[in-house]
Structure 1
Amino acid sequence: MILPIVLFGNPILRQRGSPVRRFDGELRKFAEDMRETMIAHQGVGLAAQQVARALLFTVIDVTAAKAPSAMILRGRPVPVEEQMPLFLANPVLSLTKSKEIGNEGCLSFPGLRIDVPRSRRVSVQAQDLQGNPLVFEASGFLAVVIQHEVDHLYGKLFIDYLKPAQRKEIKEDLDRIRQGLPVVSPE
């Protein structure tokens, strides 16, 4: 079932998620609904807050992305596409100090793209859909998507990385999104 996407301005986007405690059929159904919603909106990641649930849970699938990604699981590089979709419950990240600026969008901010500094590599400790520990490292586009989605789980949005002057530049776009209107692209 495709769920409605919550847009910027809805307070749930600022809520820290509650830990996932039950790994049952209800969570698996929610995970599948999130995956379908992400695909329907042509996204690569979706956090529970974006579908109106304050839960430490996200789905990620970078299979269709043209940007390179890498993943190390149990000390060995693995094909990223074989690990997708990636369901992360209760994720905790360790970030590298080395940052890279990348242009990001967000399903909760339709039409808006901004430059965001992200760690080049990330170590992830989470649980899978069965509640089993999931520990891996990611780099490239996958690392960016993981950081973006995990930020959502803790109430942080990609616009929070902007300096006040940059935020002022997109104020009109943010107001339009808050009102449910499309962002007007510059001609």
Structure 2
Amino acid sequence: MVLNIVLYDHPILRKKGKPIDSFNDQLKRLVSDMLETMAFHKGVGLAAQQIGQALQLAVIDVSESKIPSSLLIEGKPVPIEEHMPLFLINPTLSCTRSKELSNEGCLSFPGLRIDVPRSKRVKLKTFDLEGKPLALEAGGFLAIAIQHEFDHLQGKLFIDYLSPEKKKAIKEELEKIKRAEPSLFAKENA
């Protein structure tokens, strides 16, 4: 089922997610709905906060992206497509100091794109849907998507990286997003 996307300035977007404690059918249904919602809106990542739930849960799928990514599991390169979608469930993240600007959008900020400094590589510890631990290292676009979604789980938004001057420059766009109607359910299309 395609879920409603929470837009900018909704307080849930600023809430740190609660840990997932049950790896059950309810979690699997929620993840399935999140994946369907993300695909419907043509996104590459979606955090639980963006559907109105403050949980340590996000989904990512960069398999269709033309922007290069790398993925290592147990220190060995693996094909990205074979490991998508990726689930961030109670994740921990460590980032390299080396950063570059990434031009990012966000489903909770329709139409807005901004440059965000992101680490070139990340190490992620997470869990799969069965509760089994997974450790990986990512680079390129996947590393960017992981950092963006991890921030959501901490209640941090990509606009938080902007200087006061740059925030002022997009104030009108942010006001339009605040006044916009939430994304519509697509039940009639489901």
- TM above 0.5, yes or no, is yes
Q: CA deviation at 1:112?
A: 0.2
Q: CA deviation at 1:91?
A: 0.6
Give me the whole-angstrom Cα distance separating, in 2, the residues matched to 1:155 and 1:73. 28
Q: CA deviation at 1:41?
A: 0.1
Which residue in 2 is equivalent to 1:30? 30
Which residue in 2 is equivalent to 1:169? 169
| 1:55 partner letter | L
Asked if 1:88 is matched to 2:49, the reply is no
| 2:161 partner letter | Y
Give me the whole-angstrom Cα distance separating, in 2, the residues matched to 1:105 and 1:29. 26
Unpaired segments of 5 or more residues in structure 1?
182-187
TM-score (norm. length: structure 2): 0.94
| 1:62 partner letter | V
State the identity %: 59
Give me the whole-angstrom Cα distance separating, in 2, the residues matched to 1:34 and 1:102. 24
Q: Aligned residue pairs: how many?
A: 182
Which residue in 2 is equivalent to 1:185? none
Give me the whole-angstrom Cα distance separating, in 1, the residues matched to 2:158 and 2:81. 25
Which residue in 2 is equivalent to 1:184? none
Q: CA deviation at 1:102?
A: 1.1
Give the alignment's Cα RMSD to 1 decimal: 1.0
Give me the whole-angstrom Cα distance separating, in 1, the residues matched to 2:74 and 2:26. 29
Q: CA deviation at 1:88?
A: 1.6
Q: CA deviation at 1:160?
A: 0.2
Secondary structure of 1:49's partner? helix
Q: Which consecutive aligned stretches of 4+ in structure 1 deviate over 6 angstroms post-superposition?
A: none
Give me the whole-angstrom Cα distance separating, in 1, the residues matched to 2:155 and 2:88. 16
Give me the whole-angstrom Cα distance separating, in 1, the residues matched to 2:143 and 2:88. 13
**Contact map agreement 2:87 2:126 (CA 8 A) in 1:** no
Secondary structure of 2:90's partner? strand
Asked if 1:70 is matched to 2:70, the reply is yes
| 1:138 partner letter | A
| 1:113 partner letter | R
Q: CA deviation at 1:87?
A: 1.2
Give me the whole-angstrom Cα distance separating, in 1, the residues matched to 2:156 and 2:81. 27
Give me the whole-angstrom Cα distance separating, in 2, the residues matched to 1:29 and 1:50. 16
TM-score (norm. length: structure 1): 0.96
Asked if 1:16 is matched to 2:33, the reply is no
Give me the whole-angstrom Cα distance separating, in 1, the residues matched to 2:156 and 2:27. 23
**Contact map agreement 1:69 1:139 (CA 8 A) in 2:** yes
Matches within 5 A, 1:133-172: 133-172=133-172
Q: CA deviation at 1:75?
A: 1.4
Q: CA deviation at 1:27?
A: 0.1
Give me the whole-angstrom Cα distance separating, in 1, the residues matched to 2:55 and 2:128. 14
| 1:23 partner letter | F
| CA distances 1:137-175 after superposition (whole Å, capped 9, x unpaired) | 000000000000010000000000000000000000000
